Amino acid sequence: MTITSFHPPRRTLMGPGPSDVSERVLQAMARPTVGHMDPTFIGMMDEVKTLLQYAFQTKNELTFAVSAPGSAGMECCFANLVEPGDKVIVCQNGVFGGRMQENVERCGGIAVMVYDDWGTVVDPQKLEAALLENPDAVLVAFVHAETSTGAQSDAKTLVALAHKYDCLAIVDAVTSLTGSPLLVDEWEIDAIYSGSQKCLSAPPGLSPVSFNARAAEKIQQRSTKVQSWFLDLNLVMGYWGGEGKRAYHHTAPVNCLYGLHESLVIVQDEGLGNSWARHQQNHLALRAGLEEMGIGFLVPEQDRLPQLNTVYIPDGVDDALVRSRLLNEFDLEIGAGLGALAGKVWRIGLMGHASNQKNVDFCLNSLRAVL
């Protein structure tokens, strides 16, 4: 058998990620590859840092893109901030709080779990009770935008509670960055990570992160080595840090960074406030159409992510069959439920480039046809 070039079908990606990538970003990624120490590439890296600072709404110097997907951004935060024996309060209201627990334990930390039902937000009162019961805790970790359910927790309040009890806060913003309000400096978030493939609408493979001065100080004062050589910020920032000067650390994914740069330029050109408003407007249009079809939402409106809509599958409807027909007949991808929600919900993404009225209409009309 002779294998020939791979040509993927052109899908409309309206699942939990990746999202549709614009032609502008794809064209940017097709530009000539240069060396990862080339002065022109290093100049572009400086621009990526500046653009990410805008997207995160921060002035943190320690802001860059980890050369790996969002899960590595998560691991970067925990590997650098958690030392063996550190007590970390982890809030779980979906799949990704559980992954935070895994990271804490693999770093030798002690995870104190605060549970909320899937589809609900993190309860600040439960967090405060855990902080009172664990005065030796040093970190609080929670998911701002829980991708498995579409629930958006009150990050500002949760971070303030962490600080009230002398803890640093690690925040998962994989699905919220540029899709809904996120103000790293104003909310005083200490460490935060996201992914390139959600509302930024770049291909998967990069994880924007940002650390403030308090987090940087904790990293610098570690008594043990960061367990991951690749993610050790003391080493990585020799490559990302300093204007125009770089120390070799790893071979950066050059063309992927072209794509992230272009996606961030698109965000800058639209304006963050306009991006947040567009995601909300398209959510309302999708909600109206789904409710006309008798399809309800898992998450209460006030707690709902506009860019990730988790809806109940109508009674008697075959989950896998509907998603398969949408994919095969309409080239439309929507997401399945995870964990306890498997077979009970669909997750419909309206992220980044995919968040537009045309996609809302296409999704609604396709669902009507299949159902």
Do 228 and 125 reside in the same domain of the chain? Answer: yes
Please give the full DSSP string across 220-265, using - where no structure is assigned.
Answer: HT-SS--S-TTT-HHHHHHHH-SSS-----S---HHHHHHHHHHHH
Mean pLDDT of the 339-347 span: 96
Say what the pLDDT of residue 244 is. 53
Checking if the pLDDT of 242 tops 70, the result is no
Closest CA to 312 of 337, 282, 345, 342: 345
Average of pLDDT values for 269-273? 98
How does residue 240 score in pLDDT terms, banded at 50, 70 and 90?
A: confident
pLDDT value of position 243: 56
Q: How many domains does the chain have?
A: 2
Residues 262, 278, single domain; the answer is: no
- What mean pLDDT is predicted for residues 306-327? 98
Residues 332 and 218 in one domain: no
- Regarding whether 276 and 210 lie in a shared domain, the answer is no
Residue 358 has pLDDT above 70, yes or no: yes
The answer, yes or no, to whether residue 246 has pLDDT greater than 80, is no
pLDDT at residue 236 tops 90: no
Please give the residue range of the domain that contains residue 284.
Answer: 12-17+272-370
Is the same domain home to 46 and 185? Answer: yes
208 falls in which pLDDT band (50, 70, 90)? very high
pLDDT tens, residue by residue, 114-134: 999 999 999 999 999 999 999
- Predicted local distance difference test score (pLDDT) of residue 85: 98
**Percentage of residues of the chain with pLDDT beyond 70:** 99
Query: What would the mean pLDDT of 137-165 be, rounded to a whole number?
Result: 98
Q: How confident is the model at residue 33 (pLDDT cuts 50, 70, 90)?
A: very high
* One domain, residues 247 and 362: no
Please, which contacts does 158-163 make with residues 24 or more away whose CB atoms are closer than 8 Å?
158/91, 158/122, 158/124, 158/127, 159/187, 159/188, 159/189, 159/190, 160/187, 160/188, 161/124, 161/127, 161/128, 161/131, 162/127, 162/131, 163/188
Q: Note whether residue 4 is domain-resident.
A: no
Tell me what the mean pLDDT of segment 138-149 comes to. 98
Q: What's residue 245's pLDDT?
A: 64
Per the domain annotation, does 308 fall within a domain?
yes
Please give the model's pTM, rounded to 2 decimal places. 0.97
pLDDT in tens, 250-260: 999 999 999 99
Q: Is residue 5 part of a domain?
A: no
Question: Is the domain of 219 the same as that of 316?
Answer: no
Given a cut of 80, whether residue 241 has pLDDT beyond it is no
Identify the pLDDT of residue 248. Answer: 86
Same domain, 248 and 332: no
Q: How confident is the model at residue 247 (pLDDT cuts 50, 70, 90)?
A: confident
